[in-house]
A = this chain, B = another copy of it.
Amino acid sequence: MPQRQTSMREAILDAAEELFSKSGFRAVSMREIAQASGANLGSISYHFGSKDGLLRAIYDQHSGPMNRRRSELLNEAQRIRDPEDRLAAIVRAFILPSLSEADGSVGGGARFARLRAVVMAERHEEAQKIIAETFNPINLAFIDALQECLPHLPRADIVWRTHFLLGAVSYTLINPWRVARLSDGEADGENTQEALAQIVHAAVAAFRAPATDGAAA
């Protein structure tokens, strides 16, 4: 449930996140953000200094809670004894906060995840730095947890499959309509529950595959 905006600053943050997640960073002008939030153009500079500063503020607002959430879910998952069940729980914990529509923050985790995916693809330097700093540590924690479930696998294979998992999530957030288009509407890319079930199932199967033999390709 989105909470009421108490200040102009929050209204700007909310509008900017909405617009950036839809169209990317470069394509959205500060004028559009001003109009959507009801703020004045000058106010944005006053509160955030620059457009980059606004982007940084959006990350600051979300990355703490989101990574805390992922840590909690990872800890819960790691308590599961059975390695098969644990693997699925870890995968689920890894991506749930990115797909969940409501995670306590305004607009839900999916919007921020979509923003990250879109902005990452733009190769905006500032954004790449922020993302790497913020998400690498927690990603490495997940890789360690996966390695514990799959001790026979080379770490490189686990990294590759984790990378593919991130790619699948990112692609689904950026192009949800593609699933519907390729399936004639039978599958629905906008349906978070369906996406989560499909992606966890596919990823677990991929992780369970034996080590990749380079010559086999």
Contact = CB atoms under 8 A, between A and B. Distances in A.
Interface in A156-198: 156-157, 159-164, 166-172, 174-175, 178-179, 181-183, 186-187, 189, 193-198
Contact of A121 (B122, B187, B214): B122
Main secondary structure of the interface of A (DSSP, over half): helix
Contacts of A117: 121
Q: State the number of copies, please.
A: 2
Of listed A132, A170, A199, A206, residue having the most chain B CB within 10 A: A206
A172 B141 CA distance: 21
A182 B159 contact: yes
A68 to B, nearest CB: 21
B202 A214 contact: no
Given A24-B121, A197-B214, A160 B179 contact: yes
Interface residues of A, number: 64
Given A24-B123, A136-B182, A193-B217, A202 B160 contact: yes
Contact of A159 (B179, B200, B204): B179
A214 B22 CA distance: 28
A216 interface: yes
A209 B205 contact: yes
B24 A182 contact: no
A92 interface: yes
A14 to B, nearest CB: 20
Nearest to A206: B202
Contact of A120 (B22, B161, B167, B174): B174
A45 interface: no
A11 interface: no
A140 B183 CA distance: 9
Interface of A: 22-24, 26-27, 92, 117-118, 120-123, 132, 136, 139-140, 143, 155-157, 159-164, 166-172, 174-175, 178-179, 181-183, 186-187, 189, 193-206, 208-209, 212-214, 216-217
